[in-house]
Structure 1
Amino acid sequence: MATIQQRPGKDGKPRYTATIRIKGQKEKSISASFTRLTECKDWITRTEAAIKENRHFKTNESKKHTLGEAIDRYLADVAPLKFKPNELRIRGPILEWWKSEIGYCRLSDLTAKDFAACRDKLAKHGGNKGRPLAAATIKRHFVSIGHVLKICQLEWHWLDQNPLKDGIVELPELPRGIVRFLDDEELARLTVACKNSPNELLYPAFILSVSTGMRQGETMNLYWREPATPPEGTAWGVVNLAENCIILHQTKNGNRRRVPLAGEALAELQKLSKVRRLDTQLVFPSPTHPQQPIELKKAWTNALKTADVVNFRWHDLRHTAASYLAQSGASLIDIAAILGHSTLQMVQRYAHLSDSHISTTVERMNQRIGGV
């Protein structure tokens, strides 16, 4: 016998939970949640058919293996091929945490309740460091273990059903991202402070970052020519002054990107190319370890103090570039392409800054419609 219960989700949209009671087995039932009623009914039809044909119940494979075994196999065979070193360094400890918490459980015994209890523990007591975790970090924990379960189900056939499928375990809502960018006066003061810094590489790095919106890692790992051994697991690119651009061969999202150079940023790179060190191909090398990028933290902190700019990080130069692009009339698609975002979701935060441009566009369209 099947029943469907409707309840509102956190987003206000309805969710449907289907429950099927197993005939002849007292107090035994199975359930699943869906965002669409049609999917819910389809699941009931398929599951009831499977029960009649004795295909639904847990396979021997799910009874043979524990979650800990699945994590070990995943870390050994799947993760190294799928993720870059930086991501592996993040996911490894996370999966070890899951292993320490419920790794002893057989896959056949895992339920949404087990994962909900882990979610609550992360929120109250934290992960490996014993501190409560932010919503984004909790989500990362579930993304990591969710991929393990997906592989168990779809590739290894160790699972019949994924206990985390369809978001049945509700995660904390992510806070809205804070966008901090320089206003005109702050930009003017900080530009002067960086230009007057005793560190001669601070100003070129600063003006390049604020002019192109490149990430800090992309800026600091620029080369005059492609290195014989490119840095592994790190964003890097090559300056091409002949074509007034930078080619980023490795980026955060894995896509190759062309960054145009113009104005002051281009002029500063042209100056650096004439006086650059011969013992390294890096554009911003360390004075003591020329094969490594320079550390600008101290010079940057001093420049911020001199300019009286507070609550501002180097990464916020990227926000500043995006904000100035929006205010100059660039579309969200343009901003996403320039900054290297793979989706428009990341640039929606700048949409309000281009309202005047949108209004002008709508006005021009209506003038054409009206024949003006």
Structure 2
Amino acid sequence: MGLYRRKDSSIWWMSFVVNGKQYQKPTGTSDKKLAENILAKVTTRIVEDKWFEKDLSKEITLKEMIERYDREYTEMKDYYQKARDKTIFKHLYAFFGENVTLEEVNARVGSYQKWREKQVSKKGKSPDSGTIRKELSLLRRMFNVARKQWKWRIMNPVSDIELPKDSKERVRYLDMDEFKRLFVKLDAAEEPWLKPIVIVAIGTGLRQGNLINLLKTEVRLKDKMIVIDSEKMKNDDYFGNPLANVAFETLKDFIENDVTDCPYVFNDNGTKLYDRKVQRAFVRVIRTAEIQDFRFHDLRHCFGSYLRQNGVDLATIAALMNHKDQRMTQRYAHLNVESLRRPIRKLDSALLRFYDVKSQK
């Protein structure tokens, strides 16, 4: 038994053995005297045979879990992701209540989907299955963070339920005419950073948040690559992709001509861009180009769609888009019709030969 400090932590940890099993637990304090008192209490409980790992789900409330996740994770997200999380928190509170324990959440989570399907917004609409899936996915993520990062001894009840399928698999991309109209307006845009960020979005498939937070050090001009650490990516996977020439030349030009000391690739005279500023500028250009139903995120769909239309296989597209689940990539499957025509022509030839044989009999 004893106390120690980890290199990456300022708090004291305690090590002890119960029934032949060794445990390392945080004391939760950087005060050594207090840590010694905590270890002494644990030692007493072990001697009295009263120590056991306690299931915290009966004590911790949903509000405690959400508030901690909000502080440590949601507040670090971009404007739109943050707004989405906070809206989901409100729906979770509306169904479960703020002060329910996690044990009660476990008992009731299976009814959440049916309850949400009956809710009607101010616009008179009910949430679709994709929206409900996102809400339950965030709840599942919070439980996983609590278990794996905070070391709470709880179960994850969302892991045991089947999430609703996403009914809206949107694939909106620019056709040739829209593409030309957009870039005519981008050339005339007052923001010098807008056209480059759109070019790189289409050329890499990166999300808006990743582009805004893209560091100059993450662009390896020598290797013609972008390399981003996993913690900055939506699905927690490392991103390391080669650059198409158009995206590479755009990044190279933008970085080499930036005379500021701003660490971010896309900046406004040395000031970091923020989500709403990019969105407002992009929406203005889309409107002046008279393009309907097109969002910044659809630039990512342009990337996937153009790859597929040019014969790239789905597995490669999944890798380039950093999709953990290749079902996400299936939305682009229908876009390469020409590659399917060749085997159909072969079938035609085979059938014609078959019919010729039949007719000769």
TM-score range, shorter chain: 0.5 to 0.7
Q: Match of 1:222, SS?
A: coil
What's the CA shift for 1:317?
0.9
1:123 aligns with 2:104: no
What's the CA shift for 1:323?
0.8
State the one-letter code of the partner of 2:117. A
Question: Is contact 2:62–2:100 with CA below 8 Å preserved after alignment?
Answer: no
For 1:349 and 1:77, locate their aligned partners in 2 and report how far apart those are by CA, in whole Å.
Answer: 36
Greater shift in the superposed pair: 141-150 or 319-328: 141-150
Change (3 A) 1:143 1:278: closer
What's the CA shift for 1:84?
9.1
State the one-letter code of the partner of 2:129. A
Q: Match of 2:267, SS?
A: coil
What's the CA shift for 1:279?
2.8
Change (3 A) 1:271 1:349: same
1:188 aligns with 2:180: yes
What's the CA shift for 1:282?
1.6
Indicate the percent of aligned positions where both proteins have the same amino acid: 26
What's the CA shift for 1:174?
3.2
1:253 aligns with 2:244: no
1:339 aligns with 2:321: yes
Q: Match of 1:187, SS?
A: helix
Superposed CA RMSD:
4.5
For 2:102 and 2:287, locate their aligned partners in 1 and report how far apart those are by CA, in whole Å.
Answer: 55
For 1:151 and 1:314, locate their aligned partners in 2 and report how far apart those are by CA, in whole Å.
Answer: 29
User: Match for 2:221 among 195, 216, 241?
Assistant: 241
1:286 aligns with 2:277: no
- Map of 2:14 onto structure 1: none
Q: How does 1:1-372 map to 2 (within 5 A)?
A: 66=58, 69-71=60-62, 74=65, 85-86=76-77, 94=88, 98=92, 101-102=95-96, 114-115=108-109, 118-125=112-119, 132-143=126-137, 167=161, 174-225=166-217, 238-249=218-229, 250-287=232-269, 290-293=271-274, 295-360=277-342
State the one-letter code of the partner of 1:243. D
Greater shift in the superposed pair: 76-85 or 136-145: 76-85
Change (3 A) 1:187 1:328: same
TM-score (norm 2): 0.62
Change (3 A) 1:214 1:363: farther
* Residues matched between the structures, number: 285
For 2:140 and 2:255, locate their aligned partners in 1 and report how far apart those are by CA, in whole Å.
Answer: 48
For 1:105 and 1:143, locate their aligned partners in 2 and report how far apart those are by CA, in whole Å.
Answer: 19
Structure 1, unmatched stretches of 5+, are: 1-60, 226-237, 368-372
Q: Match of 1:185, SS?
A: helix
State the one-letter code of the partner of 2:271. P
Change (3 A) 1:157 1:336: closer
What's the CA shift for 1:192?
2.1
Question: Is contact 1:75–1:92 with CA below 8 Å preserved after alignment?
Answer: no
For 1:95 and 1:297, locate their aligned partners in 2 and report how far apart those are by CA, in whole Å.
Answer: 24
For 2:104 and 2:264, locate their aligned partners in 1 and report how far apart those are by CA, in whole Å.
Answer: 54
Greater shift in the superposed pair: 317-326 or 260-269: 260-269
Q: Match of 1:344, SS?
A: coil
Q: Match of 2:190, SS?
A: coil
For 1:146 and 1:89, locate their aligned partners in 2 and report how far apart those are by CA, in whole Å.
Answer: 18
State the one-letter code of the partner of 2:62. I
Question: Is contact 2:308–2:317 with CA below 8 Å preserved after alignment?
Answer: yes
Structure 2, unmatched stretches of 5+, are: 1-53, 350-361
